Chain A
């Protein structure tokens, strides 16, 4: 404590454990998948892949809602995040990431339901005309997809900003976790969608585009990681524990290996195939786990 590299070393644990890790991983996948599906819908014509994305997003959002509620010490009061219990007025604090995040998760849930309905109607219930119009092309579809995509991006990134304003070692010693999470989330979602398409044996023309997306975003992550360690300064010593090793493994298998395979073409089967996509997903999950737990390993 005498030689603590940062004032954050004197703070206490929020006791965040597995459920928060789940939220970070599932939130990244749900937000990223919805964002990519909306982009596919708005720019392309591969409606089948976008539909698959919407089908993935909704159940993930349902699980996230349950996880977030169960993680509270008083789950019966989850609604206090949205409604002030004394006045019953909506409560929204733009300067509190947990508050903006709660609203974003709710809103993305609504957008996910609308897009799911539209995708389902198009696929199975063509007579549901209004529901089908909730997907682009068309003004109503764009009215759902554009704000939905923006909210989805917020869901992927707010968790990182939240860490940066929680005063814990490592978390609050750099402002870069939001940037890292948003880039990593969309890379993971692109990997998930391409994996799902391959799993269904689809020859979707959008899959190569998804692979390009995660390769470029992994390259961006390398830059973000470098900047993150530079901004941590002396606080980077907080990684000198088991979670630093876990982080290194996560970066190696989730960022470095797929990038090497993609750029050096030493194994296109890995660089562009399901193995690389699986590595991106696993790496993203491992990195988030290490980030959530690392302050716990730093002695108060």
Chain B
């Protein structure tokens, strides 16, 4: 297996140009259609709105202003599939369409997906959606085809400020650590890495530097695996089966006891 590859996204240098979105759409031949939406979102300069089957990169615009708007800031974050080391989507896929590649990334094989939509709900980050063209679940592949050809993913190559950095995850973590130290020294003490260590779903191969709480960027503070309820849920369901089995058997046994004293009724 090749070395795990991924993205480090640093919103402190993102200028919101959306070159990553455009490059992603261009390389992956994703349609420009935006579902049935014909209106502006009204949410800052963000009309992409969310990651889905045809938007595999999404530049979020976070406006943080005072009531009188005299002081404030804009933060832009280019969101993407996190290619989790423990991936919820891969875990719940019933068809085997979702695979882990030799680069430790997570890819949906469109020819195997039947659109059951389990992965849409299971992803802790809400990254996946149905592509209305192929009618299969789709998301960022971390440009698997480009990686196989020794190329860099389209989005990071297009990023003019290196807000999106691509490379071996180990090297990216070192780089991210240095950037956090740099920001702390500059007085931005809220700077912290999101998903860089293995406590979050075993580690995110696409991780972020944040300068506020994760919720501000629409990211869950403690994303969880969908399977956490599998064992307790199954055991409790088995308990339910035991209860209905006993209730049913006892109810019909009572009836048989009653019938033993009765002549044959209306049995067929």
Contact = CB atoms under 8 A, between A and B. Distances in A.
Interface of A: 1-2, 4, 7-16, 35-36, 39-40, 43-48, 51, 72-75, 77-78, 80-81, 84-86, 91, 93, 95-99, 102, 123, 153, 157-158, 160-162, 164-168, 171-172, 174-183, 186, 202-206, 208-210, 212-213, 216-217, 220, 224, 295, 300
Given A43-B252, A166-B92, A15 B130 contact: yes
Contacts of A172: 224, 226, 228-229
A165 B267 contact: no
Given A182-B240, A203-B265, A11 B121 contact: yes
Contacts of B255: 44, 205-206, 208-209
B220 A39 contact: no
Main secondary structure of the interface of A (DSSP, over half): helix
Contacts of B122: 11, 165-167
B244 A186 contact: yes
Contacts of A44: 252, 255-256
Nearest to A40: B252
Contacts of B216: 2
Contacts of B256: 43-45
B191 to A, nearest CB: 19
Nearest to B120: A14
Contacts of A174: 229
Contact of B95 (A7, A84, A217): A84
A85 B112 CA distance: 6
B44 interface: no
Interface of B: 50, 52, 88, 91-97, 111-118, 120-130, 135-137, 213, 215-216, 218-224, 226-230, 232-234, 236-237, 239-241, 243-245, 247-249, 251-256, 258-259, 262, 265-268
A205 B258 contact: yes
Contacts of A2: 213, 215-216
B118 A14 contact: yes
B215 A4 contact: yes
A295 B121 CA distance: 10
Nearest to B229: A164
Given A1-B218, A164-B229, 6 more contacts: A10-B125, A93-B94, A178-B236, A181-B240, A224-B240, A295-B121
Contacts of B118: 14, 96, 98, 162, 166
Contacts of A78: 114
Contact of B240 (A16, A75, A93, A178): A178
Contacts of A166: 92, 118, 121-122, 226
Contacts of B113: 74, 77, 80
26 contacts: A7-B124, A12-B123, A12-B127, A43-B249, A43-B256, A44-B255, A81-B114, A96-B91, A96-B92, A97-B230, A98-B94, A99-B94, A153-B245, A157-B240, A158-B237, A164-B229, A166-B226, A168-B121, A175-B232, A203-B266, A208-B255, A209-B251, A216-B247, A220-B243, A224-B240, A300-B50
- 8 closest A-B pairs by CB: A73-B115, A178-B237, A12-B126, A77-B114, A175-B232, A182-B240, A48-B268, A10-B220
A181 B244 CA distance: 11
A11 B126 contact: yes
Given A98-B92, A209-B254, A217 B247 contact: yes
Contacts of B125: 10-11
Contacts of B221: 7
Contacts of B219: 10
Nearest to A176: B236
A295 B122 CA distance: 13
A227 B256 CA distance: 34
Nearest to B215: A2
Contact of B117 (A16, A39, A167, A209): A16
A183 B243 contact: yes
A118 B57 CA distance: 57
Contacts of A167: 88, 121-124, 224, 226
Nearest to B259: A205
A40 B249 CA distance: 9
A109 to B, nearest CB: 18
Contact of B94 (A16, A96, A161): A96
A36 B123 CA distance: 37
Nearest to A166: B121
B123 A165 contact: no
B123 A11 contact: yes
A174 B236 CA distance: 11
Contacts of B236: 175-176, 178-179
Contacts of B130: 15, 73
A221 to B, nearest CB: 10
A213 to B, nearest CB: 5
A75 to B, nearest CB: 8
